[in-house]
Amino acid sequence: MSAALINLAAEQKSAEVTDWSARIGWVVGLLVFIALVYWLMRQGWKWRGSLQADLPELPQAPEAAGDVRLRLGGRYHGSTTAGQWLDRIVAHGLGVRSRVELTLTDAGVEVVRPGATDFFVPAGQLRAARLDKGIAGKVLAEGGLLILTWQHGDRLLDSGFRSDRAAEHTAWVEAVNSMNQAMTTNDAPITTEGTAR
């Protein structure tokens, strides 16, 4: 009886020894793996930027932009090649997500981004506006994004914005598209048939 108690007491006192070297090895291996993945992502970002090196510098807002038509505060979710929502544009900071303040004037759209590169889309380069649900890998509810399509150099780009008040999106779509339609009508060739005498 006493031998059984002694064995029981010995079993209770002995604890499983932790193999610290194995645990440290696993932690170091995991950290190296995470660093490698981060480095590969960074290299991919740089590679994509070098492929887009032909993209011209971003236009800046003129000093006299005209009367303010609309303002929007929210988030900038990125720019892509028009119609290809996963083909992210990263050159000149266009791939950086940030807070944004959009201002629509007669001259175009001023995009102010704290902590990232500001830019301006001249009215003559605006092509269309629409509501969508995804851009540059970001997917939201249907109609959750305001997409502005604009010409930059020889590329047609889509830039995605989300207002803090989603109800503002519709007004932006209507204003940009009517502005674009007016410019297209004004740029149409004027026929002089019947005016010459």
Going residue by residue through the chain (197 aa), what tens digit of pLDDT does each one get? 566 655 655 555 555 656 788 888 888 888 888 888 877 777 665 666 566 667 889 888 888 878 899 999 999 999 999 988 888 888 888 988 999 999 999 999 999 999 899 999 999 999 999 999 988 878 888 888 999 999 998 899 999 999 999 889 999 999 999 987 877 666 544 333 333 32
Asked whether 86 and 80 are in contact (CB, 8 A), the reply is: yes
Residue 124: DSSP 8-state = G
Half-sphere exposure of 15 (CA within 13 A, CB side): 3
Q: What local confidence, expressed as pLDDT, does residue 142 receive?
A: 83
| Cα Rg, the chain, nearest whole Å | 29
Structure tokens at 162: 């989300």
- Amino acid letter for position 23: R
- Please give the backbone phi and psi of residue 66, each rounded to the nearest 5 degrees, phi first: 95, -175
Q: What local confidence, expressed as pLDDT, does residue 195 receive?
A: 33
Q: What local confidence, expressed as pLDDT, does residue 26 receive?
A: 87
